[in-house]
């Protein structure tokens, strides 16, 4: 029974990869890595966030999507960002590795931001992102995913390099934030026109916003929204609602429109360190299959706070 389910899993993933690689024409709407805990990983989608926490911040995230399905998406992210000695300037560095089946992509990003004070407690930041993109496609491994033979006959692609740039704006007060960004602006074509297939990287537009409500001295409530728009793909809307109790424990739920429900849990080990966990359950036909155990995500963030004694309360965004 397990062998039958595993083969069915490979067959469905093979159909998915066929759509991604598309053996007869062009592939559009290649999408950036997906995150459920985007509220703790904002710098990955908006360079203007770099340095906004007021101190050096390092975060590492791991996501395993559609557990039980061979070759399903897997993402690792590492980023750090900090304000600089020059007033209003922030810098950041990110590495994102995204895998699905025989394909893998790695982004090396450098973020720059400049922040202006618009009022007593409000700031507006402008950001730029420079990226180096490395693409691997191992066509020689496609036989195990039951892909079109024309693709299996293609030459493997190893460490194909392409540059990119991105931009964003980010506004925040003590309780509210909103940002608009496009992390990859250049629409890079990854295959030659003479090839069996071509893949063109489309612009992913992001809008993120949230508000922190102080319900009482011990409880905070933060609803957030992330919207992603890319040509050739459905509009993606992520809604989440998190509660923080006693500045330590975080719990909440999230909904990805027509795609998944999620449970979120976080624990602030100290004022400097946060660990967050998320579990997604698909509500599509893929989620109804017995070989898909959902998606898991974990993030660990550490803030190098210079003077904890002067910190009123940890930032909730």
Which is more confidently placed, 141 or 211?
211
Q: What is the predicted pLDDT for the residue at 195?
A: 54
Q: Is 60 exceeded by the pLDDT of residue 260?
A: yes
Q: Which of 25-34, 37-46, 151-160, 170-179 has the lowest mean pLDDT?
A: 25-34
pLDDT category at 191 given cuts 50, 70, 90 is low
Q: Is 50 exceeded by the pLDDT of residue 30?
A: no
Structure token digits, residue 133: 């993109």
Q: What is the predicted pLDDT for the residue at 32?
A: 81
Q: What is the predicted pLDDT for the residue at 81?
A: 97
Looking up tokens 């090839």, which residue turns up?
Answer: 195
Q: Is 50 exceeded by the pLDDT of residue 3?
A: no
- Contact 46/81 with Cβ under 8 angstroms? no
What are the tens digits of pLDDT across the range 95-146?
A: 999 998 888 999 999 999 999 999 999 999 999 999 999 988 877 766 655 5
What are the tens digits of pLDDT across the range 4-17?
A: 444 555 545 555 55
Q: Where are the domains of the chain?
A: 35-262+282-303
CATH of domain 35-262+282-303: 2.40.160.40
What are the tens digits of pLDDT across the range 281-299?
A: 989 877 666 667 899 999 9
Structure token digits, residue 118: 């618009």
- Output phi, psi for 51, to 5 deg: 85, -5
Structure token digits, residue 172: 């925040």
Mean pLDDT value of segment 209-222: 96
Q: Which of 33-37, 159-163, 234-238 has the lowest mean pLDDT?
A: 159-163
- Contact 211/183 with Cβ under 8 angstroms? no
Q: What is the predicted pLDDT for the residue at 292?
A: 77
- Computed over every residue of the chain, the mean pLDDT equals 84
Other Cβ atoms within 10 Å of 31 Cβ, number: 15
């Amino acid at each position: 029974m397990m062998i039958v389910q595993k083969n069915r899993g490979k067959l469905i993933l093979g159909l998915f990869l066929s759509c991604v690689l598309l053996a007869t024409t062009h592939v559009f709407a290649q999408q950036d890595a997906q995150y459920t805990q985007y509220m703790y990983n904002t710098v990955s989608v908006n360079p203007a966030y770099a340095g906004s926490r007021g101190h050096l911040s390092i975060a590492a995230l791991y996501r395993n999507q559609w557990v039980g399905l061979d070759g399903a998406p897997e993402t690792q992210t590492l980023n750090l960002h900090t304000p600089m000695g020059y007033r209003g300037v922030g810098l950041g560095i990110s590495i994102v590795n995204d895998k699905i089946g025989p394909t893998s992509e790695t982004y090396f990003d450098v973020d720059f931001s400049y922040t202006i004070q618009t009022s007593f407690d409000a700031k507006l930041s402008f950001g730029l992102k420079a990226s180096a993109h490395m693409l691997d496609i191992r066509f020689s491994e496609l036989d195990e995913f039951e892909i079109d033979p024309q693709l299996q006959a293609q030459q493997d692609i190893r460490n194909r390099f392409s540059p990119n740039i991105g931009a964003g704006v980010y506004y925040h007060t003590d309780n509210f934030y909103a940002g608009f960004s496009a992390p990859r602006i250049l629409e890079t074509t990854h295959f030659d026109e003479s090839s069996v297939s071509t893949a063109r990287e489309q612009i992913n537009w992001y809008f993120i916003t949230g508000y922190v409500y102080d319900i009482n001295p011990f409880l905070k409530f933060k609803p957030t929204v992330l919207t992603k728009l890319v040509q050739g793909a459905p509009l993606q809307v992520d809604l989440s609602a998190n509660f923080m109790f006693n500045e330590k424990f975080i719990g909440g739920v999230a909904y990805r429109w027509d795609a998944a429900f999620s449970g979120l849990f976080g624990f602030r080990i100290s004022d400097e360190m946060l660990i967050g966990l998320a579990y997604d359950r698909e509500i599509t036909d893929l989620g109804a299959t017995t070989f898909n155990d959902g998606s898991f995500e974990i993030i660990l963030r550490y803030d190098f706070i210079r003077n904890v004694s002067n910190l009123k309360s940890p930032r909730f965004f």
